[in-house]
Structure 1
Amino acid sequence: MTTRYIVAVDGVPPSPSPISNAVVVGNQCWISGQLSVGPDGKYQPGTAGEEAERAFAHVFRIAEAAGFARSEIVYVDLAFIDLADVAEVNALYGALFPEGRRPARTIYQAVALPFGGRIKVQAVAARV
């Protein structure tokens, strides 16, 4: 079993933290938490849906760089600053993941997120 550390991904700005964007172990890809940041690495504020859309775009790019398809994402972890934003993000989530192929998911409220973000998205992809 070879472990791969995915650090540089086209279209995903490098993290200011000493982390890997993802780690691939066997048939699993563990994707680090992603925020609404632009190509310059700076936080891009917006509605919860807009921020989630940018964060999910990073998750999908990272998964692809690691050799995994969006359909192989099996778990999503969403941290919200305000749980009142869940309904808005649910609409996006339903569009990103089709019925019958939706990953398991955890939602929780965070006290704070880096850069003052509204939502953080992390995920796990797996091949069966």
Structure 2
Amino acid sequence: MKRYIVNVDGVPPSPSPISNAVVVGNQCWISGQLSVGDDGNYVPGSTLEEARRAFEHVFRIAKAAGFSTADIVYVDLAFIDLADVNEVNRLYAELFPEGQRPARTIYQAAKLPFGGRIKVQAVAAR
């Protein structure tokens, strides 16, 4: 099975020693994304603002790896405060139309890197 690393121009570099994604066969495993700007620094905001920015990075990575938003089959969301789930659910419904919504896990984390409010990671498959 073919395996390759995806690092994407336009997605800020991680301060951690990770790849943006790894493609194995027909699957793309996208590393957790936070709300970071083009310079790689954390951009604070509401959970909704941070989620939107993190999803933009996930989608950009998927596209660079040759996958579309419709190919995303699983999303993992780590929240600092589960009280923000409903607000992010509305964004999720906008980003993934009915009939294309991936499976998903939601959990509360004690802490996220850089003081982030939400982390988004995903798996795409063809």
Aligned to 1:4: 4
Q: Percent identity?
A: 79
Aligned to 1:60: 59
C-alpha distance in 2 between matches for 1:10 and 1:18: 16
Aligned residues: 126
C-alpha distance in 1 between matches for 2:40 and 2:78: 20
Give the C-alpha shift of residue 88 in structure 1: 0.7
SS in 1 for 2:92: helix
Give the C-alpha shift of residue 100 in structure 1: 1.1
C-alpha distance in 2 between matches for 1:89 and 1:29: 23
Give the C-alpha shift of residue 61 in structure 1: 0.4
Give the C-alpha shift of residue 49 in structure 1: 0.7
SS in 2 for 1:95: helix
Give the C-alpha shift of residue 79 in structure 1: 0.0
Q: CA RMSD in A?
A: 0.5
C-alpha distance in 2 between matches for 1:10 and 1:53: 19
Give the C-alpha shift of residue 96 in structure 1: 0.1
Moved over 2 A (4+): none
What TM-score, normalized by structure 2, do the two folds share? 0.98
SS in 2 for 1:93: helix
Structure 1 residues without counterparts, runs of 5 or longer: none
